[in-house]
Structure 1
Amino acid sequence: MMLEDEHEGNGSLVGKSQQYLGEKQQANGKPVTNGKDSVKQEANGKCDMSRKILTMYSWQEIQRHNQEADQWLVINRKVYDVTDWAKRHPGGHRVLNHYASEDATDVFRAMHLKLDIVKLYLEPLLIGELSPEEPSQERNKNPQLVEDFQELRRTLEAMNMFKAKWVFFFLHLAQILILETLAWLMVWHFGNGWLMTIFISFLLLISQMQSFFLQHDSGHLSMFTNSKWNHLMQKFLMSHLKGLSAKWWNNQHFQHHVKTNIYPKDPDIDVGPLFLVGDLQPVKYGKKKIKFIDYEKQHLYFYMVGIPLLVPLYFNIKSIQLMYLQRCWEDIAWVSSFYIRHFIMLGPFYGIFGTILLIYGVKFLESAWMIYVTQMSHIPMKMSREENRDWFSTQVLATCNIEQSFFNDWFTGHVNFQIEHHLFPTMPRHNYHKVAPLVRSLCAKHGLPYVSKPMLEAFGDIVRALKKSAALWRDAYYET
């Protein structure tokens, strides 16, 4: 639910705000406000929204508006009609679709760092507020847990835990550029022998790993005061250094963050028919007698197919598909620069075919690393259909941490604190270990598990979870 960054491929949202404001209408067909007037009022501090008599809604009424063509959501007891805005949402329209008719207060706050900018877009979408007798969240949620989590966030904000250390990110960027330069200097000086090729591949692999972490920060954090610079940095890191569409990554990854391990809203767990994960999907396939492959052996071909092909095949196909279908010319140009740079640096020594082999050899190695880093914290955890839990419970039950150590922090880019990363996506990763004790304490207070594992155990749990899912499919498939 990212509003403060630039709209991918469409320039600055702030610069285009006037054409968006004034397009929304209330349910009765009357316009909420005129776009130009709204922008002027925002600038002059004279917005008369508080003087309007807002329509009061019950949760029963709000929950009728949960379709893609008619979607409302609640933020801080205010009701917003986001039906038309969803098409322009920088984080992708599905992120808003997933929260239609729900209280989105905590996820909205979690995904937006600069609230002053976001307010510019919220006001024209406002159509009413919750009736005074209605609770702030849906009746099935625990109001005390929600209140405690919001108090925790206020405490962390007061502690400046959401303030990034520029030196931390600058040093990581410097590391990436040094590794890339060193790889070119090594092949230029020593040639393209087998031993040197292996060493160069290792340097490029480390560079790719660190680029992933840094682009992840640029996607979640407002690393720069000017959102255009933040937008440019993400394009540079994701598309120029990694060769993937930044827009594709954002659309996928934001869905994963807002509905973690919720089937089918989280695209990261919707991996059928190749793999069946969790408890629901295997039973569904089994009862329908679906057997594209022998799922009883999915934990074995996870190593042969899933690990090596995620990045070089699946990621690249999905990235190219989005850029082509949505005509993302900016992303196409940035991704092209990734290949041009490699052909200029390595082409004279390896030729076109050899350079392509080297690029995808590195991606092949990176794929194994990415699978372990991203999946060991999610595949073994709770997966379910939409249960409309509060934000805190959803993230804690769907994620787990990997024990802290110097190596674990470096190997995972500090996202071994996956629980904290999901609860506070805009928090700089160098602060996760500082807030972990407070999150653990809140879990203990409300009887929620706070799972932290050794890394090797977490690796093994991926395979054990796949075997468990395979057994559920088998039992349902052969059930008479």
Structure 2
Amino acid sequence: MTFEEKPESLVDEKQQYLGARHQANGKPGASGKARLSAKQEANAKCGLPRKSLNRYTWQEIQRHSQETDQWLVINRKVYDITGWADRHPGGRQVLNHYAGEDATDVFRAMHPDPDIVQLYLKPLLIGELAPEEPNQERNKNSRLVEDFQELRKTLETMNMFNANLGFFFLHLAQVLILEALAWVIVWHFGSGWLITMFISLLLTVAQVQGSFLQHDMGHLSIFKKSKWNRLMQTFMMGHIQGLSAKWWNNRHFQHHVKTNIYPKDPDIDVGPLFLIGDLKPVKYGKKKIKYINYEKQHLYFMVAAPLLVPVYFNVKSMQEMYHRRDWKDITWISSFYIRYFITFGPFYGIFGTMVLIYLINFLESPWITYVTQMSHIPMKMSKEENQDWFSTQVLATCNVEQSFFNDWFTGHLNFQIEHHLFPTMPRHNYHKVAPLVKSLCAKHGLPYVNKPLLKAFGDIVRALKKSTALWMDAYYRHPET
């Protein structure tokens, strides 16, 4: 479907939604990825009569935050997720990170389908918050939480979470056309080194845009049936990029639910190669830890960026598939290499084709690295503070100015604030909701950071230098502790 609403119309409505606050009781969402047996089991349990619900205080709930004993709260209902964690389609770590906490906003943010989840929630329900208990933990800003939930309701009413199929099929067509064009060029002009470099650039663009597209598929319910959405993501990740979709999902969902929270966000757990943020450099410095010369880590980052995809991603992806014995992902990734050997093997041979693949990965890697890290490394990193969802995401992310080029070059990840607040929102709507998010930030005194693209890239280096200075101060001036 297409959208006729203009950004200005959303701005006109912001005062109306900001002035009306009430506790959100929206339907919980679901990933739609659980197995049929689990669905049948849930249906059976839902048919049984249920005793009156127990009532709990926040103090009681917060005691159940261990890996072997996990409760969480969604819309004032208390759920025991201990036995379900291993079956969670998004990985058990995502649930572990919210054990003993209110998960209402993150739950709604991460699950695009609000109907299927009821089948899995009801068997896990053990009680509800006592009437005298607040909706969230007492340390959270309840007025901000209510305003954010009201904003989400407004956006749902305006169909901002509905995907335009044509938009995503155009991006898929871009990827397929670039791949086909690269083959036609090498078939027609031969495999000289100039031609090889040119088709490498074409295939790099296809790889990067394919990466952005599989990122969309990992978050959205673009198709009415979730199995088609999962199939498209697996196709894009496995067949187009040669990486495991399950490995990426498990890692990426942790990043989303606890962004820039150490050690829960795997994207900032990059030691001992790099020290980022304010906490880890001081910790390493005081303990006199010096695995590498951290004084030059900003230079190491520029050298390491091209190796992220061809080395780190490929190794981690293969480790995950081997550990899980995931034959489906292995099959899809095998099809990636088979496709390259069939299309380019006749021109380059087996060894030359492998060199071509890793050349493309080498070119793709800095593009992906800088786009994904420009909005996080320069922002706040902390240990768990159990803040509300809105504050956590706004403080840990920033935007890059909008333009046609920036939108295309970043796969609309120049709107990281909106993407992190609403992961299941299709990216073609980010610019429409940005004015309302900015307005809510202004109302509650939160920074809404929006910067030029080149400054965002430069801020990565500046943030690394700042972390270096903290490490040096602790390493050279403080006695060993």
Give me the whole-angstrom Cα distance separating, in 2, the residues matched to 1:66 and 1:90.
Answer: 20
Which whole-Å CA distance do the structure 2 matches of 1:446 and 1:242 have between them?
42
Q: Please give the secondary structure, in 2, of the residue aligned with 1:261.
A: coil
Once superposed, what is the RMSD of the aligned Cα atoms? 1.2
Please report how far the alpha carbon of residue 5 of structure 1 lies from its aligned counterpart in structure 2 after TM superposition.
Answer: 3.3
User: 1:394 and 2:392 equivalent?
Assistant: yes
After TM superposition, the structure 1 = structure 2 runs for residues 157-306 of structure 1, keeping only pairs within 5 Å, are 157-305=156-304
Please say if residues 57 and 129 of structure 1, whose CA atoms lie closer than 8 Å, have aligned partners that are also in contact. yes
Name the counterpart of 1:25.
none
- State the Cα deviation string for residues 193-240 of structure 1 (Å, max 9, x = none): 111111111110110111011101110001111111111101100111
Give 1:331 shift: 0.5
Please, what TM-score do these two structures have when normalized by structure 1? Answer: 0.92
Provide the secondary structure at the position in 2 that maps to 1:115: coil
Find the counterpart in structure 2 of residue 419 from structure 1. 417
Q: 1:319: which partner in 2?
A: 317
Asked whether 1:4 is paired with 2:31, we answer yes
Q: Point out the more displaced range, 142-151 or 201-210.
A: 201-210
Within 1, Cα distance between the matches of 2:375 and 2:465?
17
Show CA shifts across 1:429-467 (max 9, x none).
000000000000000000000000001111110000001
In 2, the alpha carbon distance for the partners of 1:240 and 1:474 equals 45
SS at match of 1:73: strand
1:2 Cα deviation after fit: 8.2
Shift of residue 18, structure 1, vs aligned partner: 2.7
In 1, distance between residues paired with 2:268 and 2:54? 39
Structure-2 separation of matches of 1:319 and 1:285: 29
Greater mean alpha carbon deviation, residues 144-153 or residues 193-202: 193-202
Report the counterpart of residue 464 of structure 1 in structure 2.
Answer: 462
> How many residues are paired up?
451
Is the contact made by 1:2 and 1:89 (CA closer than 8 Å) also made in structure 2? no
CA distance in 2, matches of 1:4, 1:275: 34
Shift of 1:101: 0.3
Equivalent residue, structure 1, for 2:52: 53
Asked whether the 8 Å contact 1:298–1:470 carries over to 2, the reply is yes
1:442 aligned partner: 440
What is the distance in 2 between the residues matched to 1:73 and 1:475? 41
CA distance in 2, matches of 1:270, 1:218: 25
Q: Distance in 2 between matches of 1:448 and 1:48?
A: 46
Cα distance between partner residues in 2 of 1:37 and 1:358: 54
In 2, Cα distance between equivalents of 1:104 and 1:341: 43
Other-structure match for 2:131: 132
1:400 touches 1:418 (CA, 8 Å); kept in 2? yes
How far does the alpha carbon of each residue in 1:157-205 deviate from its partner, in whole angstroms, 9 at most, with x for none? 0111000001100101111111111111111111101111111111101
Distance 2:231 2:164 in 1: 19
| Partner Cα distance (1:4, 1:365) in 2 | 33
* Cα displacement (A) at 1:3: 4.2
**What residue identity is the alignment partner of 1:196?**
I
Shift of 1:16: 3.6
How far apart are residue 48 of structure 1 and its match?
4.8
The answer to whether the Cα contact below 8 Å between 1:2 and 1:91 also exists between their aligned partners in 2 is no
Deviations 1:386-427 (A, max 9, x none): 000000000000000000111111100111000000000000
Q: Secondary structure at the match of 1:117?
A: coil
Matched, 1:18 2:40: yes
Within the candidate set 383, 388, 392, 1:385 is matched to: 383
1:36 aligns with 2:44: yes
8 Å contact from structure 2 (residues 29, 108) kept in 1: no
CA distance in 2, matches of 1:171, 1:203: 17
Cα displacement (A) at 1:347: 0.6
CA distance in structure 1 between the aligned counterparts of 2:152 and 2:30, rounded to whole angstroms:
20
Report what 1:353 is aligned to. 351
- Three-state SS of the structure 1 residue aligned to 2:266 is coil
Cα displacement (A) at 1:6: 2.6
Residues 3 and 89 in structure 1, CA contact (< 8 A), matched pair in contact too: no
* SS of residue matched to 1:425: coil
Counterpart of 1:255 in 2: which secondary structure? helix
Query: Which residue number corresponds to residue 70 of structure 2?
Result: 71
- Aligned equivalents of 2:201 and 2:362: distance in 1? 12
In structure 2, C-alpha distance between the alignment counterparts of 1:100 and 1:424, rounded to whole Å: 21
Please name the residue that 1:476 is paired with. Answer: 474
1:150 aligns with 2:149: yes
Q: Structure 2: where are the runs of 5+ without partners?
A: 1-27
d(CA) in 2 for partners of 1:15, 1:72: 23
Superimposed CA distance per residue, residues 279-330 of structure 1 (whole angstroms, 9 cap, x where no aligned partner): 001111111111100111100111112x111110000010000000111111
Residues of 1 paired with 2:400 and 2:445: CA distance? 20
1:24: which partner in 2? Answer: none
Counterpart in the other structure of 1:367: 365
Q: Which amino acid aligns with 2:442?
A: A
Which letter does structure 1 place at the counterpart of 2:290?
K
Give the counterpart letter for 1:424 in structure 2.
F
Contact 2:29 2:113 in 1 (8 A): no
Provide the C-alpha distance between the structure 2 equivalents of 1:148 and 1:14, rounded to a whole number of angstroms: 37
